[in-house]
Amino acid sequence: MTTIDPRALRSAFGTFLTGVTVVTAHDENNAPLGFTANSFTSVSLNPPMVLVCVANTSRNFETLMKATGFAVNILAESQIDVSNTFARPVEDRFATVGWNKGPYGAPILNDVTAWFDCSMHKTVDAGDHTILIGQVEDFATTATPGLGYARGAYVTPSTAAEAIEPNPNLIVSALIERNGEVLLLDDGDGGLALPEQQVKSEGVSAALAQLIASTGLKAEPGFVYSVFERGKHQHISFMCQTAEGEPSKGRFVPMTASGFARISDPAILSMLERFATESPLGNFGMYYGNQHSGEVRPVIKEK
């Protein structure tokens, strides 16, 4: 059997881009405990279940083995400090964060992008870790983008926008989706189009923020979904999510053939048709090319 270098294996595992969570529970004295974890995944929709792995050497291990439940807090992209706090051997990790007791009893951190309050369903021994499988008793989610982690560094949706140099030939568009519908605006010629804006000296992040604000919605910019060239212009479309509310211009249309019937730009129509196909599974790809042809590179692969 080949001898595996643990450090090299850890580095290889670290190439996989994951979200960042803080797993929380209470000890036998009802004091809150928590630790940063990226070994989290959904398990089942019916019944609703999730899992997270905890090292057998963790200071919280024995307490978690006795707990009746736990919560998984998915951190927002602005919560790097929270991740670092719960990853370090700090005496009172909850001293600098706001939190409340969840419906099932585990601590729920403030301002996270989503949380799952779970009862303990089963623990499974797995080498030097133990898998905690929880049944979701309650949960909540927001439109705030989550915090990512890969190769020992944090990754945020805003990173992509900030890394793009301002360019007068660059046009950004916002793919604002909500409940299976996408926001489209009148294009002035009787058709429909995505909200878009030319990038000037303000930079991509600022241009995207201005574009979203112009719709009257409090949407959060997400990851790049499509990059294509048309003539001298480069178009970059960002996936966005928004809370409830009515837009000040445009309207949400269903992601169907009839909903897309008035889209005049073939490149945008092709992109939205792909988005409609990928959305039900959540398996998104990023398009690179021009308005005529290109390739889709997987971003999230089906498990």
What CATH number was assigned to the domain covering residues 6-154?
A: 2.30.110.10
Closest by CA to 251, choosing from 195, 211, 196, 213, is: 195
At residue 271 the predicted structure's pLDDT band, cuts being 50, 70 and 90, is confident
pLDDT at position 163: 56
**Angstrom distance (rounded) from CA 227 to CA 235:** 6
pTM of the model: 0.64
Q: Which of 88-97, 109-118, 222-231, 263-272 has the highest mean pLDDT?
A: 109-118
Domain boundaries, the chain: 6-154, 157-298
303 pLDDT more than 60:
no
159 and 148 in contact (C-beta within 8 Å)? no
Neighbours of 194 (CB within 10 A): 23
Higher pLDDT, residue 283 or 259 = 259
At residue 97 the predicted structure's pLDDT band, cuts being 50, 70 and 90, is very high
Q: What is the mean pLDDT of residues 255-260?
A: 92
**DSSP strand pairing (21-26 vs 18-19):** unpaired
288 pLDDT more than 50:
no
Query: Among 6-15, 24-33, 76-85, where is mean pLDDT lowest?
Result: 6-15
Match 């998104």 to its residue by tokens: 284
Sign of CA dihedral 91, 92, 96, 101: positive
Three-state SS at 32: strand
Closest by CA to 43, choosing from 94, 100, 116, is: 116
At residue 159 the predicted structure's pLDDT band, cuts being 50, 70 and 90, is low
Q: What is the mean pLDDT of residues 194-219?
A: 85
Query: Two tokens at 288?
Result: 């690179």
What CATH number was assigned to the domain covering residues 157-298?
A: 3.90.79.10
**Angstrom distance (rounded) from CA 187 to CA 214:** 15
At residue 165 the predicted structure's pLDDT band, cuts being 50, 70 and 90, is low
In this prediction, what percent of the chain has a pLDDT beyond 70?
Answer: 84
262 pLDDT more than 90:
yes
Beta bridge partners of 117: 71, 138
Radius of gyration of the chain (CA): 22
